[in-house]
Amino acid sequence: MRILVVEDEKDLAAIVKQGLEEEGYVVDVARDGEEGLYMAENFPADAVILDIMLPVMDGIAVLTRMRKKGIKTPVILLTARDALADKIKGLDTGADDYLTKPFVFQELLARVRSLLRRKGEAKQAAIQIADLEINTASHEVKRGGKAVALSAREYALLEFLAYRKDNVVSRTEIVEHIYSEDKDMDSNVVDVYVNYLRNKIDKGAKTKLIHTVRGAGYMLKVE
C-alpha cells in the first residue's frame, strides 16, 4: 500500500514516514500543498495524510482541488487546530478522517488501517490462495499452516501480487508500488525480491504460486 504524507514539519514528516515504512507501507512525502497536489495527481496513493497548515497552498485547498479533479483517495487531515468549525469544514470538503496534533503515532496508524479497510481492494482482512494465508492487518503470513517471516519489502510485494492474483503484474508496476517516488530503482531489483519471496513462499511446497510470465512480469496463481 502506498501512502502520501503532505507535511511541512520535517521532523514530524520523518517520524510518520519511518513509522509507516516499518509497517510495510511505501511512503512519499510532499513539503507544501502545491507539491502535495502534484503528487496526488501523478503518483496515485492508497491514502493521503494531509496537514491543513501548509505553505504555498493550504490543506483544505489541496483537498478541494483533489475532489474537483475526481481523485477519491481517502484523506486524513492532520492539523494543530482543534476547533469544531475546522473539523466540520475539513470533513465537508471531502476528508475521510481528522486527527489533531499532537497525536500518538499508533492512533494515526490505526486510522490509516481503518481507511484502507474501507477501500475496495483492501476490504479483505485476510487473503487465502491455496494454502497461503495473508493477514492484511497484522501482516502475518502462513504457508501450509507454518508462519513465514518476511521483510517489510517482501510483504509489500506479496500483498501486491495477492490482491492481483491470476493477473500479470509488470516489473514497472511493482517498482511503482513498493518503492517511494524519491527512489530511482532499476526494475531488475524486482527480480531479486521475487527470488527472495519464492525461497520463502514456494521452496519445498508441492504447489508453486509465484510464476514468471516471460516478457510481461509476474503472477500469483494456483495452477
| pTM for the structure as a whole | 0.64
The CATH code of the domain at 2-120 is 3.40.50.2300
Nearest to 110 by CA among 91, 138, 141: 138
Confidence of residue 213 (pLDDT cuts 50, 70, 90): very high
- Whether 122 shows a pLDDT value over 60: the answer reads no
Instruction: Return the H-helix or E-strand segment holding 58.
Output: none
Tell me: the pLDDT tens digits for 19-53? 999 888 889 999 999 999 999 998 889 899 999 99
Residue with cell 490462495: 129
Amino acid (one-letter) located at 135: N
pLDDT of the residue at 41: 93
Q: Which residue has the higher pLDDT, 185 or 72?
A: 72
Question: For the residues of 132-151, what is the DSSP string, one character each?
Answer: EEEETTTTEEEETTEEE---
Tell me: the pLDDT tens digits for 172-191? 888 877 765 555 556 678 88
**Looking at 93-102, 118-127, 162-171, 202-211, which range is the least confident one?**
118-127
Domain residue limits, the chain: 2-120, 126-220
Tell me: the pLDDT tens digits for 5-21? 999 999 999 999 999 99
CATH class, range 126-220:
mainly alpha
- Cell numbers standing for residue 21: 515504512
- The whole-angstrom separation of Cα 214 and Cα 220 is 14
Neighbours of 176 (CB within 10 A): 17
Give the mean model confidence (pLDDT) for residues 142-166.
90
**Looking at 14-28, 71-85, 150-164, 171-185, which range is the least confident one?**
171-185
- Cell numbers standing for residue 151: 521483510
